[in-house]
Amino acid sequence: MNTQDRNIRPLIRQLDEAAINRIAAGEVVERPASAVKELVENAIDAGARRVRVDIADGGKTLIRVSDDGCGMTPEDLPLALSRHATSKIDGSDLLNIHSFGFRGEALPSLGAVGRLTVQSRAQGAEGAEIGVSGGVAGAVKPCALNAGTVVSLRDLFYATPARLKFLRSDRAETMAISDTVKRLAMAEPSVGFTLRDVSGGQERVSFRVDPETGDLFDALRGRLARIMGQEFVENALPIDAEREEVRLTGYAALPTYSRGSAVAQFLFVNGRPVRDKMLIGALRGAYQDFLSRDRHPAVALFVDCDPHRVDVNVHPAKSEVRFREPGVVRGLIVSGLRHALAEAGHRASTTVAGATLGAMRPEPAGARVYQMDRPSMGARQASYAAQSPGFSDFSGGYSGRVVEPASYGQEVPDQVRDGVAQRPPAPEHGEGDGVSLPLGAARGQVHENYIIAQTEDGVVIVDQHAAHERLVYEKLKHQMAEKAVPAQGLLIPEVVDLSPDDAARLLARADDLERMGLRIEPFGAGAIAVRETPAILGEVNAEALVRDILDELSDTGDSGLLQERIEAILSRMACHGSVRSGRVMRAEEMNALLREMEATPHSGQCNHGRPTYVELKLSDIERLFGRT
């Protein structure tokens, strides 16, 4: 800009209505799915019991939403197309919002960037329609319509062709529309939804759900089964918690039903689908004790509170919210989900058994089998002895009821053949006293890592290392909650050489680590001395433990809550005190482990969300052998 141009004062102009609507449409209508969201929400606000959505070419050439709601009169139609005209609020209280829409921007914005036609008929009135193209509205005309409203949007973004270049393929836009309709269908189980693709003159129903009946949880369970799948509801826990007049309801899946991405997370605030960072963070905090960082829980959760306690007018798309008391909401989600997961006890998802059965299908005839080189039994036993700590106090650490098998009152040597520990069959625990043992009675141990137990109607296979790791972790957490983790002093402190930065990072957490039973002190530049370790871990490699804790501190950083960081460190500690893979266990030890698993919450999955046991029903096993 030259000097002469700088001296020219720019004029302030009032934009015309068409330009204003096109600018507003850029905020409200990002893509065809945004238009579908606005129109379907209007239909729900109108009291519709059934909503049908027709699209063509990913919504680019046609979006038509039909409903059986209250409809509009011919006099209402021109006003409905006016900017900031709405029947949802009177403008006196922008926080007291009980409807999806309230801004009065959707219809005029859509009419500004496409060819919009609205047909409607209210009860006791004649049917009428009005059209608007590129922001220019036509006259109201009579039309034939039974009841409700039909909104047709053709040639989206024809008035702003630059926006068309940013749209994705028809398939991608169709998937986004389907996701939008499904989220709204979850929010309204009592409303029926149909999504049809009418591209090329052919009609194809891609999604349909009928109105659900029953109470809140029955209706929601039925709707979620149709949208998220029957497997989800079979492996999900009902959530119903309340704190300070904020209520949390919905369903949350077991940790062993986790996903590789966050595609199965659906969050709602006062019935409105939202994508809120605070809620997602609370969800991650609730499950961080049970899942590794690359796994994501599957949930459908609803937060309901007084509308005055949440601001939904943060963004024109209304997908973000702001809570007046975010700490209350976050605490409710974390505590509500953890309480439900604790009540699930040792339960693991049914998909674990399904995956196991799938892996056990026989190989096709003629398939090659390669003989792999294997170490001798003596070499393996020597290796196991070198890596396994003493195990004499294992069974004494359990609080669950242990039934001593009569056959183990005398010395019965184990006979190991091909990695399978052969033992006399254990008696049926609980016979005659009505005690039910969900994980059954131990029958043997294979490959020095997997416990085989017999239940009333099948068998259970337990990963001894993963199971004991979870049990040790839960005990550490319990001791932390009570007071502090008991420590055992080292006769000779172990000195660990570290970089100056690592030593400083560790010493900065010295007080927290001491509460966990690990007492460290500085020992010159870049070194620390370990003087006490958690008693529950027994004999441990202090240097390996310290370096694992450093890795955990590097992963979590300082962004998380203190409690979450402490639990993450405890999880790392638990691994060092767990039964090693390759440890041959006595029958009483195996049964003690099973009983403790039954009595310990969350024992169905290890600290990383993987299952600790697989249960196979006898009927499933019989099918493997073609006996049914």
- The reported pLDDT for the residue numbered 580 is 63
Distance in angstroms (rounded) separating the CA atoms of residues 229 and 128:
41
CB 347 within 8 A of CB 306: no
- The reported pLDDT for the residue numbered 298 is 93
Over 80: is that where the pLDDT of 18 sits? no
Distance in angstroms (rounded) separating the CA atoms of residues 464 and 594:
9
CA distances from 504 to 17, 499, 559 (A): 62, 9, 18
CA distances from 453 to 290, 339, 413, 597, 615 (A): 25, 29, 20, 13, 9
Over 50: is that where the pLDDT of 472 sits? yes
CATH 3.30.230.10, the chain: domain bounds: 216-343
Over 50: is that where the pLDDT of 94 sits? no
User: pLDDT for 385-441, tens place per residue?
Assistant: 444 444 334 333 333 333 333 332 333 334 444 444 444 444 444 443 434 788 999
- The reported pLDDT for the residue numbered 48 is 94
Q: Sorting pLDDT into bands at 50, 70 and 90, what band is 79? A: confident
What average pLDDT does this structure show over 324-350?
84
Q: Sorting pLDDT into bands at 50, 70 and 90, what band is 212? A: very high
CATH 3.30.1370.100, the chain: domain bounds: 376-407+416-628
- The reported pLDDT for the residue numbered 607 is 72
User: Is 376-407+416-628 a CATH 3.40.50.720 domain?
Assistant: no
DSSP string, 366-417: T----------HHHHHHHHHHH----TTTGGG--S--PPPGGGSS----EEE
Element (H or E) spanning 129, and its range? Answer: strand 128-133
DSSP string, 167-178: ---HHHHHHHHH
**Of 160 and 597, the one with more pLDDT:** 597
Does the CA dihedral 392-393-396-402 come out positive or negative?
negative
CB 249 within 8 A of CB 239: yes
What average pLDDT does this structure show over 198-204?
90
What average pLDDT does this structure show over 85-94?
48
| Ramachandran bin of 474, using left for φ above 0, alpha for ψ from -120 to 50, beta for the remaining angles | alpha
- pTM for the full predicted model: 0.66
- The reported pLDDT for the residue numbered 265 is 94
Q: Are strands 299-304 and 265-269 parallel, antiparallel or unpaired?
A: parallel
- The reported pLDDT for the residue numbered 317 is 60
- The reported pLDDT for the residue numbered 3 is 55
- The reported pLDDT for the residue numbered 337 is 93
Strongest mean pLDDT among 224-238, 343-357, 577-591: 224-238
Taking CA 445 as the corner, what is the angle to CA 443 and CA 450, rounded to the nearest 5 degrees? 115
User: pLDDT for 213-250, tens place per residue?
Assistant: 888 889 999 999 999 999 899 989 999 999 999 999 99
What average pLDDT does this structure show over 7-31?
68
Q: What is the mean pLDDT of the chain?
A: 78
CATH 3.30.565.10, the chain: domain bounds: 17-209
What average pLDDT does this structure show over 180-206?
94
- The reported pLDDT for the residue numbered 24 is 58
CA 527 to chain centre: 41
Measured N-to-C along each axis, helices 32-45 and 170-187 cross at an angle, to the nearest 10 degrees, of 20
At the second CATH level, the architecture of 216-343 is 2-Layer Sandwich (3.30)
Topology at the third CATH level for domain 17-209: Heat Shock Protein 90 (3.30.565)
